[in-house]
A and B are shown apart, each in its own frame.
Chain A
Amino acid sequence: MTDRRASLMVTCLGDLFFPEVGVSIVRVLRKLGVIVDVPADQTCCGLPLFNSGYHSEAAAVARRTVSLFKDSEHVVVPSGSCAWMVKHEYPGLLAKAGLAREAAQLAARTHELSQFLVRVLGVTEFTSAVPGRVTYHDSCHLLRGLHESQSPRTVLGKLRGAELVPLPGADECCGFGGSFAVRLPEVSSQILAKKLANVEATGADCLVACDAGCLMQMGGGLTRKKSRVRALHLAELLDGSP
């Protein structure tokens, strides 16, 4: 497993709001013998622009990302939605600029974190940094965009010190949806309220997701209602001592 190299695409939310997630990923990967680098001058994958219909603007941002990671062996992304953007949308978005091939190559080398751990590195056993009962929410882009429901559950299911309990309606949206959350805040909040009622009913201490957007939404809802449940990124749990 040595000599693996991976570049961290920290994402805008990861960089600005959840730097500890990036720190955890670096530590976890390094423990597994992966040489981690972080290409400088990262901003955002462009998904917020793309989803709101600003496609030429998104393409300009995508172009930067492709160039930043052009020499990376693997690119690891802590959010299913950003990974989906790179893997599914970059090639089409950059076709006009004649960069479809470069974009497709980056797409093939880009992995959401849980997929990188389980499907690329083949590692599934970790010790929890946050012992207790955990439940898992499927982020929409990871689940329906990248068709991944198993990798995070495999890791959480085997996690030493943690008990994984199923979340009713785990595959239902949390109501984030990027700008949707502020364009239709009432609808977004009601979707969230139903999600959090399901979360609290599990009796879990910790709600895990693999997307910073969902964590911002669900975490923000949980602290607002002074819930005892903490919303954490998968990486934060995996960063325990062996």
Chain B
Amino acid sequence: MSSDELATPFRQRADGAMKDTFLQEALTIATTKFIGLRREAFAGFPEGEALRDQARAIKEATLQELDRHLETLIANVERLGGHVHYAAAPVEARSIIVDIARRTGARMAVKSKSMATEEIHLNEALEAAGITPVETDLGEYIIQLAHERPSHIIAPAIHKTKGQVAELFTRELNRHAAPDPEALTRIARGELREKFLQADLGITGANFAVADTGTVVLVTNEGNGRMVTSLPRVHVAVMGVEKVVPSLTDLMVFLAILAKSATGQKLSVYTSLVQGPRRAGELEGPEEFHLVLLDGGRIAQIGGPLREALSCLRCGACLNVCPVYRQIGGHAYGYTYPGPIGILLTAMMEGTPAVKDLAHASSLCGACADACPVRIDIPRMLIDLRREVGDRKIAPWTERVAFTLLSRLLRHPRLYRLAARAGRLLQRPFAGSGRVSRLPLFFGEWTRTRDLPPMASRTFQERWASDMDLRA
């Protein structure tokens, strides 16, 4: 999102999203469907719970020795004839990839869906260098045509209805398109087929990279990932350093739960295991293979408060079940990664001040932690971020004063009782009907849409102290 858009406070961005009737329709349909599919997938998979624990344990163990696993990965990719690059920050990753494109004379790059390339804003960098990026995942293709950003980790165009996509295709591709998913897919497929054949460069992310074998693993549903990694002369894969897994045996544990969590599928339609460039005697595959390892704030969190978030598989399950995401969608969050996990990843990548409001964009209902295939305790880390926002005085002073006063009241029962009496007096003008329907100042944030029960004329403890019937 541009800095202009971020200048709008989060609350207003969220409110805007809730007034977008298309967005509301699309979000409700899609997240409800995803929730049901995930639930069904795990209901018929009793070993799922143990596999989730095992997956988390593998992630933890891998993080313990991340340097060693990365060294193994690098050695194996190079042994297979690939090149490995290390990027400490998005700007470095961009220039590494632009350099590869320039050196190999690339004019057009086809891309498979990748959040890491979104994170580093790769498309803008390629365009600035005169290289045309073409998104080939259907959802990504749609939002590229619309000049937007993904609003969901696995379903980038989740915010669009089929009617909107049909209008977009009609306008941008200059051909009549009916609001029928099959027909729309056929149109996109026709457009993209040409691009695959023209492209010099294929760019992908990586769901996993297997250290032992130097394999990059892509989990996709449309087959575009295979075209991207096999047709162009050069393949560049971009991955966060935390995506390394030690062995193929470990990989199987993740594959058993990833698609079930994401889309409710047993496995995605395509699971592509890519090993280096084309070898002598092979009929397909790129001449050159590059793996870009991206830090981007991750390594600092191995020993940091957001460590758990490094286990994230990017399945999107926490977005689908989040009551906040389900109302406001992904764009309102304002950064590459939306939803509950997105708040943590944004803090990791942009720093805590960037999430001073987002850290509160959760009712802490815990549905995210429940849905997370590797059981990341997202609410816990959101609370910890709130603490940091308060401790570092990033939170507004009015809030800090209010909570300091509250803590006084709660530590001193005499003050608490005094406040209760004051509250009862102050509510009088508003509590006539037995419901408080309109309150001034900050309290109006509640009463605009909801009543408040009036404070009782006698607190429970006052009744307990004086009503002998109650005590008997």
Contact = CB atoms under 8 A, between A and B. Distances in A.
A12 B456 CA distance: 12
Interface SS, B side: helix
A108 interface: no
A22 B460 contact: yes
A16 B420 contact: yes
Interface in A118-136: none
Contacts of A170: none
Given A60-B407, A221-B450, A19 B14 contact: no
B445 A61 contact: no
A26 interface: yes
A173 B367 contact: yes
Interface string B425-451: 000000000010100001101101111
Interface in A138-185: 140-141, 144-145, 171-173, 175-185
Q: Is the interface of A mostly helix, strand, loop or mixed?
A: helix
B328 A187 contact: yes
Nearest to B467: A23
Contacts of A217: 450
Q: How large is the interface on A (under 10, 10 to 19, 20 to 34, 35 or more residues)?
A: 35 or more
B458 A53 contact: no
Given A53-B387, A53-B390, A183-B360, A189 B365 contact: no
A50 B383 contact: yes
Given A38-B461, A48-B406, A180 B363 contact: yes
B360 A184 contact: yes
B401 to A, nearest CB: 11
B450 A189 contact: yes
Contacts of B386: 51-53
Given A140-B364, A190-B327, A184 B453 contact: no
A46 B461 contact: no
A23 B470 contact: yes
Nearest to B462: A19
B410 A10 contact: no
B372 to A, nearest CB: 12
Contacts of A188: 363
Given A53-B390, A180-B364, A182-B445, A19 B407 contact: no
Contacts of A50: 383
A43 interface: yes
A190 B18 contact: yes
A14 B460 contact: yes
A184 to B, nearest CB: 6
Contact of B14 (A60, A145, A187, A219): A187
Nearest to A21: B460
Contacts of B452: 216, 220
A202 interface: no
B323 A172 contact: yes
Nearest to A215: B453
B366 interface: yes
Contacts of B437: 224
A53 B410 contact: no
A221 B387 contact: no
B11 interface: yes
Nearest to B28: A194
A15 B459 contact: yes
B434 to A, nearest CB: 9
A191 B28 CA distance: 12
A60 B324 CA distance: 31
A81 to B, nearest CB: 9
A44 interface: yes
B44 interface: no
A26 B453 CA distance: 22
Given A51-B383, A220-B450, 19 more contacts: A19-B460, A22-B463, A26-B470, A40-B413, A46-B410, A48-B406, A49-B407, A50-B383, A52-B399, A53-B388, A53-B391, A54-B403, A60-B407, A61-B407, A61-B411, A140-B363, A173-B363, A180-B363, A190-B327
Closest 3 CB pairs of A and B: A177-B363, A53-B386, A57-B407
Interface of A: 10, 12, 14-23, 26, 38, 40-44, 46, 48-55, 57-58, 60-61, 64, 140-141, 144-145, 171-173, 175-192, 216-217, 219-221, 223-224
